[in-house]
Every structure is written in structure tokens, then in C-alpha cells.
Amino acid sequence: MTSSKTIAFLGMGVMGGPMAGHLLNAGHRVTVWNRTRSRAENWATEYPGGTIADSAAEAAAGKELVLACLGNDDDVAGVVLGEAGVLAAMPKGATFIDHTTVSPALASRIAEEATELGLHAIDAPVSGGQAGAENGKLSIMCGGTEAAMAAATPVMEAYALRITHVGEAGAGQLAKAVNQVCIAGVLAGLSEGVRLAQANGLDLDKVFEAISGGAAQSWQMNNRWATMAKDEFDFGFAVDWMRKDLAIALSAAKEAGLPLPVTALVDQFYAEVQTMGGNRQDTSSLLRRFPRARPA
């Protein structure tokens, strides 16, 4: 195990809360902050031994590492950058790890400001959803310097199954965009497959048994086929967040001069799910966009 570190964790949502808990259980000294204080208080009740700060800057002051898992670009920039931001409150030589999925441009801006202040910074978006955070089995894709990775990796190991240094600042966010593009396409196909089976009156358990051991197998199939078959969509990563992430991917593709027609189409499918009230349902609720046909 790595030596005990003083750590601040910003953002006590369904991902950040369990991740901070793993850090505390690994023996680190953890201070947390959340914009809605009650969430931080709930975390402290669930994980005795941590402390709560009244502001993000207060949480970051004097810490060896500061980690964030917030909402979007505006949330992160407002908390992290500027004279009153988290980076300005951190001591020289400390490391900032951003687990939020944000634009590569913001990740690069954070890295630049961190360097000017004598800090390390890593953009480290995660994949694995709420279950991965709770089980400590997240996949983390990182952008930043080798020195930043050396400081961040031993701490991230508390909640990660896989940690990959993809490249320079912003590369982690670009890898996450690729990740979300791949997930969106799989879920679109999976939704159509489930509906096709239902429309023909097949036993969905038997279909799963037949196809999940072959080339159609995927994490989404293994973890969401059964719940999709029951129209259950309360399993973590929300449609609103997927649309935010796909917007980042589509923007990066546009800058590179690359059309992503399938991703653009699935993004519009998710927009339809939002109009149906599915904003906070998990991403497998894409199934709702495909009508259930009665068996012939």
C-alpha cells in the first residue's frame, strides 16, 4: 500500500462518494467538499474518519493531492481556476487529479495553470459507472506528465482496476470521448436487439444465454440485458451525462474534421429519451426510444 497522504476530494456524487470512501479505507487522511453540504455529511456518516470542509479552497489548502469529480466544464472551471480557485489554494508540488469528464481544452487549461503555480495536474476521467466506483474497479484514462502520473497513480489504485497513461494533458479526456462513442453505439444496437427478440416472442433469458458467449457479448449486454428486458433503468450513469459527454466527442470530431454519423444519430435518440422524461435514467433507457412491438 502507498504511504498515507493528505487528500481533498471535491464532489460527493454517486461516483465521488465511493471513490473518496476507498481512499479513506486505504488509510489516507481525507477531507471532502460538496456544493450541497448534506451530501458531504451523508458521506461522513457512511465513512467515519473523514472531515468536511466549508469550501473547495478550504478543502484543498495544504493537501498533497486534490481530486475532483464534479459536473461539467463550468462546474470545474468555477471551482478550480482563478485567484480564488482550488489550484491557487494548493501548496507547491501538490497534485490535482480531475476525474470529471470535461473538454480536452479545459483539461489543457488546467494543466497550464497548474504548471505556472508549481503543481502537477492529471485529467483522469473514469469508466465503470456507479458499480465500478463502489467496487473499486474503475478504468481510468489519464492525460498529463510522467511526474504527475507518478504522484497520482499510487492514490488512484485505491479505486481502480486499470490505470492507463494515454498521453499529454487532454489525452485522457479524448480517450473518454472515444469510450463514450463506443458505449453509445453498443447501446443502440443492444436496444434494437432486445426489441427484435421481444417483437418475435422469444424468451429473452434464452436469447441472452445463446448470444452472450459469442461475438455479440459486451459489458452492456452482460450488465443491462436483464434489466432492459424488465424496463428497469435506475442503474447509475444518467442520460443527461451521456449527452454532455457525446457533445464533447462530437466537438472533438468536428475540430478534427471527422464526421461521426452514428454517434450524432444516437445522441439525437438520447434527446428523444430526455423529452420522454428519462433525463436521470441510466443510459440503457435508450431502449425506451424503440417502441415495443407485439409478437405477430
Amino acid at 29: R
Q: Which amino acid is at 122?
A: I
Q: How many CB atoms lie within 10 A of CB 44?
A: 18
Helix (H), strand (E) at residue 140: strand 138-143
Q: Is 132 exposed, middle or buried (0-12, 13-18, 19+ CB in 10 A)?
A: buried
Task: Tell me, yes or no, if 63 is annotated catalytic.
Answer: no
Q: Catalytic one among 176, 206, 230, 244?
A: 176
Concatenated DSSP letters of 99-139: -S---HHHHHHHHHHHHHTT-EEEE--EESHHHHHHHT-EE
141, 268, 282, 173 alpha-carbon torsion, rounded to 10° = 10
Q: Which three cell numbers, joined as nine digits, stand for 48?
A: 467515519
CA–CA distances in Å: residue 261 to residues 181, 246, 264: 11, 12, 5
Output b/e per residue, 241-278; b: 16+ Cβ within 10 A: bbbbbbebbbebbeeeeeebeebeebbebbeebeeeeb
Which residues are marked as active site? 176
